Amino acid sequence: MITLRGLTKRYGDTVAVDGLTLDVEEGRVTGFLGPNGAGKSTTMRMILGLDRPTAGRALIDGRPYASMRHPVREVGALLDAKALHPARSARSHLIAQARSNGIPVRRVDEVLETVGLAKVARRRAGAFSLGMYQRLGIAGALLGDPQVLILDEPVNGLDPEGVRWVRELVRAQAAQGRTVFLSSHLMSEMQLTADRLVVIGRGRLLADTPMADLLAASASASVRVRTADPADLSGLAGRLRAYEGVTVESPGGERNEIVVRGRTAAEIGDLAHRLGVALHQLHSVPASLEQAYMELTEHSVEYGAAASPPPPVSDGSAPTATTEV
């Protein structure tokens, strides 16, 4: 488990990380999200003892990273995949890490096999592609068979097969009871990978929540409602519209279906029951992570474009054409 308590980092006038308090628990994949400059790298660097907090603390299984005798055996980290000597081979790079942490050389060959670099293990790492660097970085993180993995943008530069491989790898690690904390800017991938999300903006905590709760609570989440009788539906729509914060649309002008935002399926079902309306369908459509993330961080973007482009089209589960009922 990673424990942050009031974790703060200031660089002069810049507050990079502002009083973060949270637990990253074992047995699940926790995604770490935030706009550029939000403080993700600084947080990870403080967890790994590479930056000193201005205030607060970051502990791994109750201890600071710097106090660990063989840190690579307790925490596997990938911060910057290209941070290695370009003239060294992948194998000699890992052997150096293994030796300094009391790890046998056969483990190096094992992890090279795991990440798919066994065939190029003796080649100069300087000639590697970004995807190969990432695989080597992940090999380094796995080297000590640690209980905690901290991965900054591990899928950056990987091809679709590589992205899927990282997803399956980290999910398997979490399923074995390990702690996995990873950042990524690829929202659709994060949606498939993480169980829980920590979102920060301008150094502050914006959300620390299970993925499913974030998607269900988003203003973009909707409920599709169908009745047999269009008159019933329009009565129900009228009642729903009277509530503050509720929108009601009819996708593609359908007469017997509405899409409701601002109320849960349970609330709509209860209302229909009270009105004596028989429902033929009541279907929750969660938001995409991209939609939920954009809503959450819209006021925390440090480096935004001057005019926002229109919101991205969703994953196809939401209606594409809508008209007011």
Which window, 11-19, 74-82, 246-254, 272-280, contacts ligand ADP (CB under 6 A)?
11-19
Q: Does 38 bind ligand ADP (CB under 6 A)?
A: yes
Q: Does 80 bind ligand ADP (CB under 6 A)?
A: no
Other CB atoms closer than 10 Å to residue 145's CB: what's the count?
Answer: 14
Instruction: Figure out which of the listed residues 3, 8, 30, 42 binds ligand ADP, where binding follows CB under 6 A.
Output: 42
Nearest CA among 167, 195, 222, 188 for reference residue 293? 188
Q: Does 39 bind ligand ADP (CB under 6 A)?
A: yes
Question: Toward ligand ADP, which CB reaches closer, 33 or 248?
Answer: 33
- What 3-state DSSP class applies to 312? coil
Instruction: Figure out which of the listed residues 6, 11, 105, 281 binds ligand ADP, where binding follows CB under 6 A.
Output: 11
Question: Toward ligand ADP, which CB reaches closer, 10 or 164?
Answer: 10
- What is the spatial distance between Cα 234 and Cα 245, in angstroms, rounded to a whole number? 18
CA distances from 138 to 134, 149, 178 (A): 6, 10, 15
Nearest CA among 64, 37, 40, 69 for reference residue 52? 64
Instruction: Figure out which of the listed residues 3, 41, 134, 173 binds ligand ADP, where binding follows CB under 6 A.
Output: 41
Mention every residue, 6+ apart, whose C-beta is less than 8 A from residue 149.
75, 76, 77, 141, 142, 170, 173, 178, 179, 180, 181, 182
Q: Does 37 bind ligand ADP (CB under 6 A)?
A: yes
**Shortest Cβ 58–ligand ADP spacing (Å):** 13
- What is the spatial distance between Cα 310 and Cα 122, in angstroms, rounded to a whole number? 48
- What 3-state DSSP class applies to 51? coil
Question: Toward ligand ADP, which CB reaches closer, 162 or 203?
Answer: 203
Instruction: Figure out which of the listed residues 3, 18, 34, 91 binds ligand ADP, where binding follows CB under 6 A.
Output: 34
Handedness of CA 142, 146, 152, 153 (dihedral sign): positive
Q: Does 233 bind ligand ADP (CB under 6 A)?
A: no
Query: Could you tell me the two tokens for 304?
Result: 């935004």
Start-to-end CA distance of the chain, whole Å, equals: 50
Q: Does 304 bind ligand ADP (CB under 6 A)?
A: no
279-285 vs 222-227, strand pairing mode: antiparallel
Per-residue contact flags (x/-) with ligand ADP for residues 261 to 300, judged by CB under 6 A: ----------------------------------------
Question: Toward ligand ADP, which CB reaches closer, 107 or 204?
Answer: 204
Q: Does 154 bind ligand ADP (CB under 6 A)?
A: no
Mention every residue, 6+ apart, whose C-beta is less than 8 A from residue 286.
212, 215, 216, 218, 221
**Interface with ligand ADP: number of residues (CB under 6 A):** 11
Which window, 10-18, 120-128, 159-167, 229-237, contacts ligand ADP (CB under 6 A)?
10-18
Look at the block and give the residue holding tokens 């995807």: 131
Q: Does 91 bind ligand ADP (CB under 6 A)?
A: no
Instruction: Figure out which of the listed residues 16, 81, 136, 294 binds ligand ADP, where binding follows CB under 6 A.
Output: 16
Question: Toward ligand ADP, which CB reaches closer, 44 or 108?
Answer: 44
- Interface with ligand ADP by CB under 6 A: which residues? 11, 14, 16, 34, 36-42
